[in-house]
Amino acid sequence: MEVAQETLTPPEQKHSVEFSGSEALLEALMIEGVDTIFGYPGGAIMPIYDALYDYKEKLNHILVRHEQGGIHAGQGYARTSGKVGVVFATSGPGATNLVTGLADAQIDSTPLVCITGQVFAHLLGTDAFQETDVINITTPVTKWNYQVTDATEIPEVIAKAFYIAKSGRPGPVLIDITKNAQIQKFDYKGYTKCDHIRSYRPKPIVRPQYIKEAAELINQAKKPFIIWGQGVILGSAEQEFKAFVEKSGIPSAWTILGAGAIPTDHPLNVGMLGMHGNYGPNVLTNECDVLIAIGMRFDDRVTGRLDKYAKQAKVIHLDIDPAEIDKNVKSTVPVWGDCKETLPLLTALVEQKAHTEWVKLFNEYTQKEYDAVIHEELNPTSPEMTMGEVIKQLNELTKGDAVIVTDVGQHQMVACRYATLNKTRSNVTSGGLGTMGFALPAAIGAKFGAQERDVIAIIGDGGFQMTLQELGTIMQTGIDVKIIILNNKFLGMVRQWQELFNERRYSFVDIQSPDFVAVAAAYGIAGKMIDDRKDLPSALKQMMENKGSFLLEVMVTKENNVFPMVPQGCSVAEIRLK
């Protein structure tokens, strides 16, 4: 292992001191700028927690109620703060409870460093109590993992972990530390931050020829179309992206993880892509002549049938991860590199244009969608409330400045479609893995990562019951998170598919729920349930003005469907309005 030498030694730290492995770990976290840790103690990680007792004033540890809650909280923290989320868990079941969150973070490129305790090194492979082979279990769902059996390795390994987690395309890293390495004393000589690893190139070399070729295609295009993803946000390239969009005059649409990179109401922001995206961006993907993809990976929920996806277009793909280019959609011009670096180079070469007629066509499709779908969803005439009208009225209170954390299901698609987002890092959701139970713990982490902002979790009645124990974390920390449960008494997205594609054979989607307000009250959290439209404005206002967390349960219509929709196996141009 070779790392660059950039030793950062705190002024109060002696040149050499005897530290335990646990103390060396905590010193490393402080030098890396960690301020919050989400975790749950146990036998194999107990020495680290014992050392943490003396660091309580320097490192804020949040005791979650389940390790999955801890890692989702770490994800939420990373997504709003832009920093690396840090999670502690013990061995065996503690470590395996992290796997769902690791998979979620891996596919959504979320930077995490997870520290797991492990049995003593001499017990490895003996099926000792609470021993699991966490390295082999987590290899497919981490960017890097490593098992430490000697305390002297800890400073260098932790430095490498943080560098890998946050550099290039971010992702989760897991470091498994045996109990003997946590206890072992050694001669600690300071901490060396890592900024280089031999054979690891986080950012590919930018090739000016490809930038030039891309600009030429864009300048010749009659119907260019930009689709952007979370890479713009991960690269902190929002301003560079906005400059490129405005100079080129190209209509631009987003994947759900890219939402918020430019404001919702920007005149060139034409909406959301994908299975439940907006009508125009989906249909017109198959009419554009140049498709410019920026920091997105052509996920199947965005492309629909690949053999019918944008076959008429020349494709320019900007991405920091060379493995994503040509993986699903063949590019005409691949632009490797960090979009914070490549976008200004491209902007300098593109011509100032307006594409007025082309943008007007998107607007016409938007109006068609509004008339067929959006108007009724946001202004329903039915006696029962819709999810869309809840989001509409919430927008009026937040003015688009809140962090919106969504779980997975119909409410997720509705919130992503209709929430107003004026700021970057405002949309926190489980994109690639689609993890139910994500929102409540992620909202807790999101609030710790952006304490000055309102954080609102929008959750379905099914997903909420997967991690509702994290209400205990809210109770103990006193964190201020607003929770909206959109309750349709169904596992709504599965029910929608069963209605449309399985002849309404509703197989095990009718879910019963407890009294959510009473459950919240048991945790000392204020709450309210409403089932009448006339109570919605005042209830939302009460929630937002409440000092501290608040749970609002809104009973919505049971069998409402999310449209538009691209049926599975269809082209994006075959999107259905009804």
Among all residues, which ones are annotated catalytic? 67, 129-130, 179, 493
Give the span between the Cα atoms of 137 and 131, in whole angstroms: 12
How buried is residue 534: exposed, middle or buried, by Cβ count under 10 Å (0-12/13-18/19+)? exposed
* Euclidean distance between CA atoms 505 and 491, whole angstroms: 13
Tell me which residue of 100, 113, 170 sits closest to 140, measured CA to CA: 100
- b/e code 449-479 from CB counts within 10 Å (16+ = b): bbeebbbbbbbbbbbbbbbbbbbbbbbebeb
With CA atoms as reference, report the closest residue to 113 among 149, 70, 80, 151.
70
CA distance 325 to 318: 8
Q: Rounded CA gap, 140 and 142, in Å?
A: 6
> Helix (H, G, I), strand (E, B), or coil: what is residue 493?
helix
Q: Where are the alpha helices (DSSP H) in 8-65?
A: 21-31, 46-52
CB 214 within 8 A of CB 333: yes
Tracing tokens 């994503």 back to the chain, one arrives at 324
Place of tokens 């409402």: 560
Output b/e per residue, 55-78; b: 16+ Cβ within 10 A.
Answer: beeeeebbebbbbbbbbbbbbbbb
Q: How far apart are CA 136 and CA 143, in angstroms?
A: 13
The encoded tokens of residue 201 equal 């190139």
Instruction: Report residue 72 as tokens.
Output: 């989702």
